[in-house]
Structure 1
Amino acid sequence: MSDRSEYLTRKEKIDPLLFEQGWDVSDRSFVRVEIDTKQSDFILKEYRTVSETLKNDAESKYADYILLDSASAPLAVIEANRTSKDPLVGQKQAEEYADDIRSQTGRDVFIFLTNGKEIKFWDRSRAGVRTVSGFYSRRDLERIRFQNEHLMFEAPVIVNTDIVDRGKNIENVKHYGHYPCPNNYLNISGHHQFSYDFQLWHSKTQNLC
């Protein structure tokens, strides 16, 4: 962010939305603002701001916000734009900030893109960018991160055709059945055993085996 309209968007719209989810931008144990992702040390948790690095000769890139986890490590970055811009305008920049953090810590962070009216969320370990109704709390983001890091194995979906007999239903089961599961929930053949309520397409619970 640079000009006044972007500054006002942040102060009048984005900061209050963050506060609703427990992110107080004045509390440095929760949120860091205008952080140089090139010159900060994310391992040591030394967050260098624009005022500290703007005038030196080293490469700099400034994340509008970095949300911190309960250990004060980076959890998410936020790229903010004025309300007149599409939030996706900042996607490439935000990805570069996240890459800078991951290159140091070996751990990915979540990405939010916003213009104060619309919020996009990007969990790069899962799906693409999607629109969300608001920012996620620290607890929510830490929970998602835990799931990503510990439940990443995706078991193949084997459809019981005695129960799911229509071609379209079979494809739907395969599509929606690809949920991550821990290895200890797999049987010896590596197949995920679970039941999925498929009432959108059928009148009874469908069993996948």
Structure 2
Amino acid sequence: MKLDLRFSDRPLESLWCQAVVALVFKGPDLTEGALFRLNEKMAGFLSGLQERGFWTGSRGESILVASQDAIRAEKILLKGLGESRDYDVKLLVSHIREVGSTFNKMEINEFGIHIPVFRGLEEEHASHLEICARQVANPFFQHHRGESDFTLKIIFSVENYTGKFLRPIAGRLREYFDLQGEFSVVIDLESEHQSNTI
């Protein structure tokens, strides 16, 4: 198995892949950030789901929808995290591992993901990105270890971050994945006109 892990400042709706994942808190705010842009590109489809009570972002609640060619990815997975005030890293690990397991079962091996910044834990967002990169890839490593023709591509949409912020994360992930098999970790920031492979 080969892992192609990328950190990009491109938003979810601009990523070419099989699916994109948005982890969202209950009663998601569709007026800003990653969800706002996805909803806008989908002509209000996501806000329609919310208004009808079909999807609320409650813990464990997931919905997979076809993008209907409104964005570059084929599918959108919305993963409910529940109330933001009740959230912690253990729940994040559980949810992100579940995303990896789900996509592995669905044979989706190329996806983008956005990890929200948790209110009050802004300083820990770097460690959250690192944990999520490890946990979302682990189900694939467990299932596809030894398959030289299998490639997993994960793109973390990390807007508003700099290479200086991301390089230490990439370095630690390099050490971790070095034990797992063949991999590349790429920082691809259009805002800095750079692409660094580690």
TM-score of the pair, normalised by structure 1: 0.33
Question: Which one has the largest radius of gyration?
Answer: 1
TM-score of the pair, normalised by structure 2: 0.35
Give the helix-richer structure, 1 or 2.
2
Which is bigger in relative contact order (C-alpha 8 A, separation at least 6)?
A: 2
Give the strand-richer structure, 1 or 2.
2
